[in-house]
Amino acid sequence: MPAIEVENVSKSYGSVHALDDISFKVKRNTIFGFLGPNGAGKSTTIGILLQFLKQDRGTVRIFDEDVTHNAALKSRLSIIPDADLPRISGLKLIRHTARYYGHQGQQLREQLNRIVNQVGIREFVGRNTKTLSKGQKTKIKIANALISDPELIIADEPTSGLDPMARTDFLRLVDRLVNEEDKTFFFSSHVIGEVEKIADELVILNRGKVVANGTLAQIGQLIPTPNAYQISGDGLSLSLLESLEGITDVEVISDERFVVQTSEPQNSPQFLMALLQHPDVLLHSFTRESMNLEKIFMHSVNGGATQ
């Protein structure tokens, strides 16, 4: 049973098609990345998952239950919003959320103590949120999302504005939540590197359509991999590389490092032999370029891969 199942969902705002017949599934106990450029429809999708918005067509199921008018589902999921926090103490906010979900007395105190320690907010949880840094506010949001012990956490750009150390701490916490506490984590992000690092599966959305869906390996198989090589060495130059037969494009990385594309077979690029035999060239390295998520993303949003 999937944690999330979206089937043929569409949503329009007047003549603007925010979502156009999108479908995808999120497996339980996984980290699911939701990628797309600005205006792709990510926030609209999250709004529909949480039923802040109503889709025009299609169905959305969470834990095999239709989300429409289903108040019982609220206790099984929570959100880490992109919006700012109310100007009260973090402790007051988290207590209020805990009571909303029915935590009282000793149960509330034990759960609060556990979450405060788990997220690492004890030093500043009692301060007014307006005095906190971006990273500290994000940790308060995480603690507030976890206080109800949800099965599914939906996060909208959770690492936006975080410094590298705070981002690393956040990703480690997400990994623990999924792998040690059996949570499901669905998050939208503009930071392709962090999605590539931790997501088990992902969807790439563009102009309201799903243009890629699956694991990184599955999506990569949909995209033709160019015969591209990164080379470095003494005596290399743009003019020399462009003059070699079989090279179709050259990208300059530095004075001694280049990425070249070739029309030649992968197992026997003849330009390599020409460079090895050239009297003024001493090669230092020669590696075939691999397909990473950034390349997959750019290919997908530019009309390449399809679902």
Residues 210 and 238 in one domain: no
Burial class from Cβ neighbours inside 10 Å (0-12, 13-18, 19+) for residue 123 reads exposed
180 part of a folded domain: yes
CATH number, domain of 238, equals 3.30.70
pLDDT tens digits, one per residue of 23-59 = 999 999 999 999 988 889 999 999 999 999 999 999 9
| Final residue belonging to a domain, choices 164, 197, 221 | 221
- What average pLDDT does the structure give for the chain? 88
pLDDT tens digits, one per residue of 81-93 = 988 899 999 999 9
297 part of a folded domain: no
Residues 162 and 191 in one domain: yes
Residues 64 and 155 in one domain: yes
Residues 173 and 54 in one domain: yes
pLDDT tens digits, one per residue of 158-201 = 887 778 888 888 888 899 999 999 999 999 987 787 888 889 99
Q: Return the pLDDT at 123.
A: 96
Range of the domain at 55: 4-221
DSSP sequence for 232-264? EEET--HHHHHHSTTEEEEEE-SSSEEEEEESS
pLDDT tens digits, one per residue of 246-303 = 898 898 999 889 989 887 666 557 888 899 999 999 999 988 776 667 777 776 777 6
Q: Return the pLDDT at 170.
A: 86
Residues 175 and 235 in one domain: no
300 part of a folded domain: no
Residues 110 and 199 in one domain: yes
What does pTM read for this prediction?
0.76
